[in-house]
Structure 1
């Protein structure tokens, strides 16, 4: 893989987007603005990352350096200034925390093992609707099965129900609620899609072209320092 591995960049951009969406100062931004904003930030940070991180996969995870050993002092000034200008970070230390958390999520997703079932049972992600590689999400997380049956939340014939989600949507679902809340309240795709945060994510993710690296030249309204 090369530094231009587009699927890896797409994962990283989605991790940036989730962190941007979660910040109160960006909650009122239009979906298109959030899309371009997240893409710009991801592109600025991506150029400073080591190649071993950019090409991270389950097969190469042993070569991925620990975050503590990744120098981030060469981070683009535009990345830092943008987070400060939009009040997503109060100072440079918070900028570093933002980036490190996004990188933690990226490494986790990029290095995740492929699903046990090689052939998927759906052609499109059940949340974003994209025809991309899919994983299966246990709608009632396996760690909760004993409690679910003991409490009588669901019948045994529902216990192994799954939804077919792309890696980014799958990660978003698990970050939206605890396993217990997923099992008790959000045990179908329809119930997940009733959540405002999942609806917002769906609008963002549905527009993302899998395997295409965003170019900074695509953005028409970058911050002045970009």
Structure 2
């Protein structure tokens, strides 16, 4: 089963096309199964430039595909379920889904301010938060030169309380954070951060001890 983020976006674009038919009353699980099947049948036939579409590659991505490249299984399924009347209709269904997919796959990364959380992403306490540059700013030139990450990732942030923010910087160098711990998930994969998380989650904000 295909598991790439691009494939997931493509499947979602097909699901939205299915939902655009107002007479659909299938359950969420049936919608998932149906869109997964259609996506799996058509995905391998798409050009590599489409299947690897990203914000960085947006200038070279085209949705131009040929009618003859539409899989018979895809076309027959759409016709059988009443989503298309013939091969050309099925082709247009796929084209519209691809337009939506490319818009999503090539969308710019979110501005960090729009990602703000109400809880610390490490200890999960609702306390005042700071933003932690997941790829420290001091490393940006090196990151691009050594091609550790694409430029679009440079300004990604995590929202952390001050104690957790300080803890993250205390366990790794800036280079190590940039190269190996550039997501919250990767940070939480560290045993020392997990230990800190368990400790911090039990601390009451604003209470002085001793």
Q: TM-score normalised to the size of structure 2?
A: 0.52
> Alignment partner for residue 9 of structure 2, among 11, 14, 18?
11
Asked whether 1:90 is paired with 2:85, we answer yes
Across the aligned residues of Structure 1 and Structure 2, the Cα RMSD in angstroms comes to 2.1
> 1:70 Cα deviation (Å)?
2.4
1:50 corresponding residue in structure 2: 47
1:59 corresponding residue in structure 2: 56
Q: Which has the larger radius of gyration?
A: 2
The count of corresponding residues between Structure 1 and Structure 2 is 118
**Moved beyond 6 Å, runs of 4+:** none
Asked whether 1:35 is paired with 2:10, we answer no
Tell me the distance in 2 between the aligned counterparts of 1:30 and 1:123.
Answer: 32
Tell me the distance in 1 between the aligned counterparts of 2:60 and 2:39.
Answer: 22
Tell me the distance in 2 between the aligned counterparts of 1:123 and 1:55.
Answer: 33
Q: Could you list the runs of 5+ residues in structure 1 that have no partner in the other structure? A: 125-226
Tell me the distance in 2 between the aligned counterparts of 1:87 and 1:52.
Answer: 30
Tell me the distance in 2 between the aligned counterparts of 1:5 and 1:28.
Answer: 27
Asked whether 1:121 is paired with 2:116, we answer yes
> 1:119 Cα deviation (Å)?
7.6
Q: TM-score normalised to the size of structure 1?
A: 0.48
1:106 corresponding residue in structure 2: 101
Contact persistence 2:70–2:91 (CA under 8 A): no
Q: Could you list the runs of 5+ residues in structure 2 that have no partner in the other structure? A: 120-210
